[in-house]
Amino acid sequence: MTDLLANLGLGFAVALSLQNVTLCFLGCLVGTLIGVLPGVGPIATIAMLLPITFGLDPVGALIMLAGIYYGAQYGGSTTAILVNIPGEATSVVTTLDGHQMARQGRAGVALGIAAIGSFFAGTVATLLIAALGAPLTRLALIFGPAEYFALMVMGLAFAVVLAHGSVLKAVAMILVGILLAAVGTDLETGQERMTFGLVFLTDGVDFSVLAMGLFGVAEILRNLDQTETREIARARIGRLLPSLADLRQAAPSALRGTAIGSILGILPGNGAVLGPFASYTIEKRLARDPSRFGRGAIEGVAGPESANNAGAQTAFIPLLTLGIPPNAVMALMVGAMTIHGIVPGPGVMTKNPNLFWGMIASMWIGNLMLLVINLPLVGIWVRLLKVPYRLMFPAILMFCSIGIYSINSLPTDVMLIAAFGVFGYGLIKFGFEPAPLLLGFVLGKLMEEYLRRALTLSRGDALVFLERPVSAVLFLVAFTILAAALLPSLRRSRDEVFTEA
Amino acid sequence: MSDASDGVRRTRSIVPAPQSFVAGIALVLLGMFGIWAASDLPRGTLGSMGPGMLPHWVAIGVAICGGVLALTGLVREGAGLQTFGLRGPVTVVLAILAFAVTIRPVSLGPVAGPGLGLIVAGPLAVIIGGYATPEARFRELLILALLLTAGCMMLFGDLLNLPIPIFPTVLIEAASGTIPSRVMLRLGAGALALAGLGLLAMQRRSTHRGRIDVAPHTMSI
């Protein structure tokens, strides 16, 4: 306990330096901005801004990038409530009751409760990261290659179960991702794989190029297809602070949402997206009068909004302690860390305590800032929504091109984002989700490395994964959830979670 | 990627779930392509895996997934094929390509790009890309392009010092020694910003005010 306090003290000392506070604020501001704007997500933004962080020191860079990610969770709810369009994938459920509240003239209260719930969840998640950091790091040190491989298999299994739609399609996407990751020079033998003699493929496909194509360009193409009218809530926003009765009604939901979001966030496989759905379903089940949901129930805003923010932050846990990115944003963080020569994993905490604790402390500071950025300034964000998409996407296009070009100074990278953009557009059109592909791509390289190492150590005996207890348990969990997802009864309730909301 | 024009095919077709079926076939092809691409790599043994081992088996996995998906598409009722916009993808790809070949000297086989720098590549990407939607208006895009490029030149070139070419190589060579590059950058950005603001002011005056509010509720997202 005293250790924890001392560590947090160190963290705050780092995070409160003028430079880091400024960077944290910038990150939160950019995060809110892209959160508010539908059509720009944190993945594309962080990929775009990676080159900017080259010149910063690693702590500041990561503080800023983290701020963008959780800041987007706050911003997304503003659009969801006022315009009935999710600003982010994680705020889809908020549109249901949040926008209804806005129609009833309680937009301010909905915004207020979303921000307060998010802040509460952020605080809890920050403490959770701080508390779980040390024990998980110790756990990671006893992990061998077999355990790491098993852990990643489990993560991918979760990703399949947590993805929307067909299980089979999600599995296929992960495999395609792993296959893409194999392109380029083989690390162990130095042999070129599937490069077809193309020079720009020698180093493999750059992760940010793939992410930008699949999430930046493909998203633009998808948005161009649909013409949707935006209806900004005409009614006044009204008072922002919820009344005591509102708070009392929302508090249990926020608590449950935080718990659900935190747990799903830690699990590899993009829990931040599922968290709000799960929370909404549970709130509706628990409610005395479920028919209120969809008609402006405050619980339907408090729960999911707490869940998405908690999940966005606890997602840092596997990255910082085990070195395994649980979702695409964390994979970009790996990129940002390796650029600065930091190897994500158990070593971060012992070798770079400044970075580890500074980042954690900055999250709490960032959440506090977001409360200020979001509530009083909500008028500015609403104005932003008036920028028509026909002007927004050319700007995004240009930023994407500049951002990708400046990472490696390669025009071929820029061309590749166009190719992956069209590929991603095709995926969307055929009902595939790009997120599992990206996760497969990220984990693919790591998995192959650990698989090789584990099998070399066991002299080719594949049973090693079942003989070591920890890896056996992890495999068991992976197969159980996969099997469960395929069972008809469970599949129905899984579909329900997504469709009901 | 067929049938771009005739809408969602809800009509009775031979296949109950065309989307799954076509997607499955595409995955099978992709898997087979992967198997072929990795076929010349040594696979090694489990004890010492060669570079071809993982790609080979993963590609087989992709093909199997595709096969099962295609089969379910034949058996179970499901979603039809979705329409594909053509204008969007083609224009956006052109815009990105225009940026890629003009940002710095590129040689694509016998053809060599001129290397025009951000000051040309940026506006090109914005203006070409803008035409991805039928709502595009040239003057509006021109103003956006000028202002955005000026902003990006200051942000990426001056403030962040990223190694991104700003001006055409010819111009840089001509000006080298006479004007410091940073001064030139600021002058260029200033000129663009002024031009953009000038156009904006002209447009404001000619269409009175309320220009921004012309179509605030028909925004496509």
Q: For residue B30, what pLDDT is reported?
A: 92
Q: For residue A490, what pLDDT is reported?
A: 59
Q: For residue A205, which residues of chain B lie inside 8 Å, CB to CB?
A: none
**Which of A319-333, A412-426, B40-54, B162-176 has the highest average model confidence (pLDDT)?**
A412-426
- A144-153, A335-344, A351-360: the lowest-pLDDT one: A335-344
Q: For residue B12, what pLDDT is reported?
A: 54
Q: What global pTM score does this model have?
A: 0.83
pLDDT band at A258 (very low <50, low <70, confident <90, very high): very high
Say yes or no: B63 contacts chain A, CB-CB below 8 A: no
CA B175, CA B171: separation in Å to the nearest integer? 6
Q: For residue A228, what pLDDT is reported?
A: 58
Q: For residue B2, what pLDDT is reported?
A: 41
Q: For residue A499, what pLDDT is reported?
A: 57
Q: For residue A269, what pLDDT is reported?
A: 65
A20, A18, A29, A52: which is closest to A359 by C-alpha? A20
Cβ contact B152–A406 (<8 Å) = no
Q: For residue B31, what pLDDT is reported?
A: 92
Tokens of A276: 């709000």
Q: What is the ipTM of this complex?
A: 0.83
CB A295 within 8 A of CB A280: no
Q: For all residues of chain A together, what is the average pLDDT?
A: 83
Return the number of other C-beta atoms located less than 10 Å from residue B30's C-beta: 19
Say yes or no: B48 contacts chain A, CB-CB below 8 A: yes
Q: For residue B6, what pLDDT is reported?
A: 41
CA A85 to chain centre: 19
Calculate ∠ Cα A497-A85-A428, nearest 5°: 65
Cβ contact A398–B99 (<8 Å) = yes
A94, A130, A96, A88: which is closest to A114 by C-alpha? A94
Q: For residue A233, what pLDDT is reported?
A: 53
pLDDT at A72 over 80: yes
Say yes or no: B218 contacts chain A, CB-CB below 8 A: yes
Q: For residue B211, what pLDDT is reported?
A: 42
Q: For residue B61, what pLDDT is reported?
A: 92
Tokens of B114: 């001129």
Q: For residue B8, what pLDDT is reported?
A: 45
Q: For residue A386, which residues of chain B lie inside 8 Å, CB to CB?
A: 212-213, 216
Say yes or no: B92 contacts chain A, CB-CB below 8 A: yes
- A48-52, A396-400, A484-488, B53-57: the lowest-pLDDT one: A484-488
pLDDT band at A231 (very low <50, low <70, confident <90, very high): low
Q: For residue B219, what pLDDT is reported?
A: 36
Residues of chain B with pLDDT under 50: 1-10, 209-221
CA A119, CA A114: separation in Å to the nearest integer? 8
User: Residues near B207 by Cβ (< 8 Å), separated by ≥ 6?
Assistant: none
Model confidence over A236-246: pLDDT tens digits? 677 777 888 88
Q: Which of B50, B104, B148 sits opposite A411 (nearest CB)?
A: B104
Q: For residue A308, what pLDDT is reported?
A: 87
Model confidence over A155-189: pLDDT tens digits? 888 778 776 667 888 889 999 999 998 888 887 77
Q: For residue A21, what pLDDT is reported?
A: 92
Closest CA of chain A from B177, distance in Å? 25
Which residue of B lies nearest to A445 if distances are taken between CA atoms? Answer: B54
pLDDT at A295 over 60: yes
Q: Which of B49, B122, B219 sits opposite A398 (nearest CB)?
A: B122
Cβ contact B96–A401 (<8 Å) = yes
CA B183, CA A167: separation in Å to the nearest integer? 57
Q: For residue A54, which residues of chain B lie inside 8 Å, CB to CB?
A: 162
Average pLDDT, stretch A221-225? 85
- A265-269, A490-494, B4-8, B33-37: the lowest-pLDDT one: B4-8
pLDDT at A497 over 70: no
Average pLDDT, stretch A35-57? 80
